[in-house]
């Protein structure tokens, strides 16, 4: 597991997030499955926000910050909108409120230093990251403290996988390597599409995305929904559809975009006595 070759129990973890619930929930879901739901701290890669920065998210984070510094030197700071502050996030302890913890900025040097200095007392540090902006931070932590950390990158990083101890990614990321995909992709585009090689030994493939819906969460949900669902005819199909995102802010447009699900759901009605759809 580590370069030193010994095996120990991991008792603590750090999540490197990008501020998007879909990415961070995968990290937290993994920690819940490992029994570390109350033993992690959340660090986020923070991009400059507001004004022209909203059009610069395609840049690497380090380059984006340098461009932002140049803009600040050219224009008065009062004219450069910073955007919203990062709010504290709730960390659950086996389904119970464990209090609010402030979100820290993801600094590879500080995290690696902390892992090295506390290794003898607390053992190795598990680092779990997800999202494009977190790739450079997570790989840097492993490079700075290879014997003190175990780095897991969720979602395919699209670069050298040996920069991480473990990569967790859905099977469909490797669809371009299948014969069916090769027939569909023009030959002159194949060299531009990643991944280009089959999964390495440090890659774990999943059917879908990681999540927090473990057995404990399902038991809690079953208790909360019992009175409402108990009178309904069985078998019962319940579909939960998320709300607006940064790419689709209008709630009406979002619901219309989900309308294509109806044709799929109608096919299940022959097996179900009742269908309930919740927009959450």
Please, which pLDDT band fits residue 53 given cuts at 50, 70 and 90? confident
Q: Between 202 and 70, whose confidence is greater?
A: 202
pLDDT mean over 77-104 = 46
Q: Please report the pLDDT score of residue 77 as a whole number.
A: 54
Tell me the pLDDT tens digit for each residue of 105-140: 899 999 999 999 999 999 999 999 999 999 999 999
Q: Please report the pLDDT score of residue 219 as a whole number.
A: 92
Please, which pLDDT band fits residue 196 given cuts at 50, 70 and 90? confident
Q: Which regions of the chain does DSSP assign to beta strands (E)?
A: 13-17, 40-44, 89-93, 96-101, 104-105, 125-130, 149-154, 166-170, 203-206, 236-241, 274-279
Whether the CB-CB separation of 47 and 57 falls below 8 Å is answered with: yes
Give the separation between CA 135 and CA 48, rounded to whole angstroms.
18
Annotation: CATH topology of 13-46+86-206: Rossmann fold (3.40.50)
Share of the chain above pLDDT 70, in %: 72
Give the separation between CA 251 and CA 17, rounded to whole angstroms.
26
Pairing of strands 96-101, 89-93: antiparallel
Tell me the pLDDT tens digit for each residue of 61-72: 778 888 878 877
Please, which pLDDT band fits residue 15 given cuts at 50, 70 and 90? very high
Q: Between 6 and 163, whose confidence is greater?
A: 163
Tell me the pLDDT tens digit for each residue of 207-234: 988 998 888 888 998 899 899 888 888 8
Please, which pLDDT band fits residue 161 given cuts at 50, 70 and 90? very high
Q: Please report the pLDDT score of residue 83 as a whole number.
A: 44
Give the relative orientation of helices 108-117 and 135-144 as an angle to the nearest 10 degrees.
Answer: 40
pLDDT mean over 183-212 = 87
Please, which pLDDT band fits residue 93 given cuts at 50, 70 and 90? very low
Q: Please report the pLDDT score of residue 191 as a whole number.
A: 79
Please, which pLDDT band fits residue 55 given cuts at 50, 70 and 90? confident
Whether the CB-CB separation of 208 and 170 falls below 8 Å is answered with: yes
On average, the pLDDT of the chain sits at 79
pLDDT mean over 257-276 = 63
Nearest alpha carbon to residue 101 among 10, 17, 224, 216: 17
Tell me the pLDDT tens digit for each residue of 231-264: 888 877 777 766 666 665 555 555 555 666 666 6
pLDDT mean over 189-201 = 84
Q: Map residue 119 onto helix, strand or coil.
A: helix
Q: Please report the pLDDT score of residue 89 as a whole number.
A: 41
pLDDT mean over 158-180 = 90
The torsion angles phi and psi of 251, rounded to 5 degrees, stand at -65, -35
The tokens for 208 are: 């879908």
Q: Is the pLDDT score of 180 beyond 80?
A: yes
Give the separation between CA 253 and CA 273, rounded to whole angstroms.
29
Residue spans per domain, the chain: 13-46+86-206, 232-279
């Amino acid at each position: 597991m580590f370069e030193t070759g010994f095996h120990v129990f991991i008792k603590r973890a750090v999540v490197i997030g990008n501020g998007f619930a879909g990415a961070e929930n995968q990290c937290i879901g993994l920690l819940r499955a490992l029994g570390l739901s109350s033993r992690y701290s959340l660090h986020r890669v923070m991009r400059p926000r507001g004004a022209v920065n909203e059009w610069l998210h395609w840049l690497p984070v380090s380059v984006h910050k340098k461009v932002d510094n140049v803009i600040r030197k050219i224009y008065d700071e009062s004219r450069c909108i910073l955007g919203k502050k990062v709010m504290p996030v709730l960390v659950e302890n086996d389904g119970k409120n464990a209090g609010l913890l402030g979100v820290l900025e993801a600094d590879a040097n500080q995290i690696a230093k902390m892992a090295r200095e506390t290794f003898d007392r607390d053992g190795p540090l598990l680092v779990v990251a997800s999202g494009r902006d977190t790739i450079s931070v997570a790989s840097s932590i492993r490079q700075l403290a290879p014997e003190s950390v175990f780095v897991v990158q969720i979602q395919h990083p699209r670069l050298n996988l040996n920069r991480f101890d473990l990569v967790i990614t859905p099977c469909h990321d490797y669809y371009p390597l299948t014969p069916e995909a090769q027939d569909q992709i023009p030959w002159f585009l194949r060299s531009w599409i990643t991944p280009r090689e089959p999964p390495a030994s440090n890659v774990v493939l999943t059917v879908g995305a990681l999540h927090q819906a473990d057995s404990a969460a399902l038991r809690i949900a079953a208790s909360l929904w019992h009175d409402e669902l108990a009178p309904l005819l069985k078998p019962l199909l319940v579909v939960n559809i998320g709300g607006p995102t940064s790419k689709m802010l209008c709630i009406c447009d979002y619901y219309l975009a989900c309308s294509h699900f109806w044709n799929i759901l109608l096919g299940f009605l022959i097996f179900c006595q009742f269908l309930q759809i919740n927009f959450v």
